[in-house]
Structure 1
């Protein structure tokens, strides 16, 4: 019998964690599930709620509860949780998101079991938000077809809650390189792209999870210091994949820093503006292309 390891990362999510765990506990599967809950030193009642909820876990579920004694940050927390996994497959659901289809894991498990040439599959996800313009909308349209690494990189289409992948991907060169950078702001897109080195990636139009969009989310708002860390991640992606992916990554870095540099100068934040200027100059080829298009 195969085993799937599920990673749930939590930090101050007392208002959401029960719904998250319910979505996992309700899964109907014919294989063993290993649930790894890694709490990053929450200051609220998240750990207590988890401990109470898992007292009534289903019999097919093995649980490892990790409680960090100090806050280590989202990426180191994720890396540490990955090292605890013993399953053939991996799935993810952060503490404020949740699965909505009781057959999600079984469907994805069966797909990879029956299609050895695939290393990952993912599905469509629904937005949940207090904003009525966003609530109940689709996070990103997903078709029933194969997706390439550059598609995953160019478009924010793969949501963490939708992923089901082979654990063997963690041993490839790209992921091993990723593990050397615990300072990275994001890790998910890089990980999903890395699956392409082990096999094909399949999308599904089925909507089987929900993404809670709120102001506390790491990707919300304008943050020029965060953009510098995003540049660093894109640089690593460029160095790892080369080709068309490198071209796109270099342009992303240049464009992001050009906008940041201009706005920071207007705000009189010269020190931060200079840090973005260094990225602009580093991508000299893109700067020449931009100036040629702008002033041609």
Structure 2
């Protein structure tokens, strides 16, 4: 939709169909491209952009303010004076989702961007025409600053249903491509979670209906040193995912499937081996990591225990010789 027309429609009728939620932190090198990719969306419906800046220490807030001043009817900005992420505050529940006026919500972090100008139109059309679906994702490209890399999801169909029997296998449900129905969002669950994450959000949504993977590339996921998640250790990624999926497994009855149980087992095993590697390779581990190692390997199968003792031998003796 033309920017001026979109601005006029929202101003006069206040009939926003979709809300774009963007979280930013120290994204001065990327946020302009991100916002431009939102504004360049061609739709037959009005949308708004809710941007939350989590006390960035660079020029990110200034850039957001410039866009807000240029498009005041489209862009709603929230600026924090102290960082909420570091305090484990659920920004979605506390700040951005309550501000959304749209029937649908789309997410994209401030360092990613959308490459398909019809992304929102395609996803909203799908959800409008398929009432049993409450959320959908698309394919995307990975960009490390130099090269673009495709994913290997190997979906053969244009539309693949995502539910608790195949969720996270493969892991194709990234935040930057998601669009979901706001009325499928159970805020009473989201707001009380201890280990909230995008995985938690998807499991809440799938409790109300099916999800869909739409087989086209719509976005670009940046991998860079400032990435809040992409540059975290493998241990952090696996263990944090295990924590939030396990929390949801205990809350959402529909999630108690063999697929989710297998996912939890795989994540915990990977996190335990990563913690073990850190322990014997000179890294400092905390009580939670020590507890994870002890609890997982004490109840593991004989084959896993064999790998456990083999790894300890390698870390203690072979690596020291090298």
Same fold (TM over 0.5): yes
Deviates more, 1:215-224 or 1:197-206: 215-224
Aligned residue runs from structure 1 range 121-140, under 5 A: 121-132=136-147, 135-138=148-151, 140=153
Q: Does 1:258 align with 2:258?
A: no
Match of 1:53 in 2: 67
Return the TM-score normalized by structure 1: 0.83
Q: Deviations over 1:224-263 (max 9, x none)?
A: 4665544422321332322324522441353134313432
Could you tell me whether the CA contact under 8 Å between 2:203 and 2:248 is conserved in 1? no
Could you tell me whether the CA contact under 8 Å between 1:117 and 1:199 is conserved in 2? yes
Distance 2:230 2:264 in 1: 20
Aligned pair count? 285
Deviates more, 1:251-260 or 1:159-168: 251-260
Return the TM-score normalized by structure 2: 0.77
Match of 1:19 in 2: 33
202 and 99 in structure 1: CA distance in 2 versus 1, 3 angstrom threshold: same
Match of 1:66 in 2: 78
Q: Does 1:208 align with 2:218?
A: yes
Q: Does 1:83 align with 2:98?
A: yes
* Structure 2 unaligned residues grouped into runs of 5+: 1-14, 310-322
55 and 68 in structure 1: CA distance in 2 versus 1, 3 angstrom threshold: same
Distance 2:18 2:115 in 1: 18
Distance 2:175 2:279 in 1: 36
* Structure 1 unaligned residues grouped into runs of 5+: none
Q: Does 1:191 align with 2:205?
A: no
Q: Does 1:287 align with 2:283?
A: no
53 and 257 in structure 1: CA distance in 2 versus 1, 3 angstrom threshold: closer
Deviates more, 1:155-164 or 1:49-58: 49-58
Could you tell me whether the CA contact under 8 Å between 1:29 and 1:106 is conserved in 2? yes
Query: Which structure has the greater CA radius of gyration?
Result: 2
The RMSD of aligned alpha carbons is 2.9
Distance 1:53 1:16 in 2: 14
- Out of 248, 268, 278, the position equivalent to 2:291 is 278
Distance 1:21 1:165 in 2: 20
Could you tell me whether the CA contact under 8 Å between 1:250 and 1:286 is conserved in 2? no
Tell me the CA shift for residue 57 of structure 1. Answer: 2.9
Tell me the CA shift for residue 193 of structure 1. Answer: 2.8
Could you tell me whether the CA contact under 8 Å between 1:120 and 1:165 is conserved in 2? yes
